Amino acid sequence: MSHSQLQQITELLRSSPLDLGGDVAVMRQVFDEMLADAPMPGDARTTPVTLGGVPVIEVVAGPATAPGAILYFHGGGYALGSAARSVNLAADIARRIHRPVYTVDYRLAPEHPYPAAVDDAVAAYQGLLAQGVPPQSVAVAGESAGGGLALALLLRLRDHGLALPAAAAVMSPWADLTGTADSLRSRAALDPSLTSDALAARAADYLDGADPLTPYASPVRAYLHGLPPLLVQVGSAEILLDDALGLAAQAARDDVAVTLETFPGAPHVFQGFAALLDEGRAALDRLGAFLRYHLDTPNPSATPLVAPVTSDAA
């Protein structure tokens, strides 16, 4: 990652009008307008569908020649964002795994507080399986709050004795809604996009009085044994650093195969800037390699730190 690239992204984020903790109606519009500025990749094809009664967008980019699919969850603090505005990042992943990505329009808080998003995630996953896609050919992924939701889905499936997907990859996951992580303070001056106050506001809307320690809201506090292999990616310049570190540590303690990748100086969900940031492209290449390995290798007996990476450039 060049200093100039990182500086450009940091300045872009610091000058953004987005305040994650601001008025929800206003910030939804700001968030959507920001993401809409990026043109859709020329090789991306999108199709609105439903899975288990939940609206999703099927995203294909490049040759979708392999069996299976990815179920994807967008970020936005459980209050902002949409499947439509996550298409570019979903396409970057689809291009690397040679499979369709289904990005889920789960219900948002405060109108639909916890556990609505988790319920929608489970319904969409079961809907995908109902179409004949076997669980071993499915992986789940997400960024920020969507990363936390992907983990909550895994926990709900495990706890109800349902078939689990082959693997999961989460980028800068918001996995601890208690607001007690040290990095909320120690990384505050470095983070150009998130603040602890903003996260607290969105957590209050989402939880609506529920205990933040509940495992499906704060997966980093959960017992993770039995989950499929995990890939966790995080930048060092974000206040959610400890969410990722704590998740990886808990997974290791609970005998879950986990790969943690930290990227020095990178901001929150830097993979979304792959068109401008070398490290964003590299992270997506590694994420794609991880998912391909677990989808292409039935019941792998060992989990490599990262499978050999071949770039399918963003």
Q: pLDDT tens-digit profile of 196-233? A: 999 999 999 999 999 999 999 999 999 999 999 999 99
pLDDT reading at 90 higher than 80: yes
Closest CA to 308 of 292, 289, 294: 289
Is pTM, for the whole model, over 0.85?
Answer: yes
Q: pLDDT tens-digit profile of 11-70? A: 999 999 999 999 999 999 999 888 877 778 889 999 999 999 999 999 999 887 889 999
The secondary structure of residue 162, as a DSSP letter, is P
Show the DSSP H helices in the chain as ranges.
3-14, 24-36, 87-97, 116-130, 145-159, 183-186, 196-207, 241-253, 278-296
Average pLDDT, the chain: 93
Measure the CA–CA gap between 174 and 181, rounded to whole angstroms.
Answer: 11
Residue 81: the pLDDT is: 96
The type of residue at 107 is R
Residue 311: the pLDDT is: 42
Catalytic, 268? Answer yes
Catalytic, 3? Answer no
Catalytic, 112? Answer no
Measure the CA–CA gap between 184 and 239, rounded to whole angstroms.
Answer: 5
Domain ranges of the chain: 3-296
pLDDT reading at 109 higher than 80: yes
In the three-class reduction of DSSP (H, G, I as helix; E, B as strand; rest coil), residue 307 is classed as coil
Q: Pick the catalytic residue: 143, 268, 279, 294?
A: 268
Q: pLDDT tens-digit profile of 225-262? A: 999 999 999 999 999 999 999 999 999 999 999 999 99
Measure the CA–CA gap between 250 and 296, rounded to whole angstroms.
Answer: 27
Cα dihedral 51/107/245/158 (nearest 10): -50
Q: What is the CA radius of gyration of the chain?
A: 18
How many CB atoms are closer than 10 A to CB 280?
Answer: 25
Architecture of the domain spanning 3-296: 3-Layer(aba) Sandwich (3.40)
Residue 305: the pLDDT is: 40
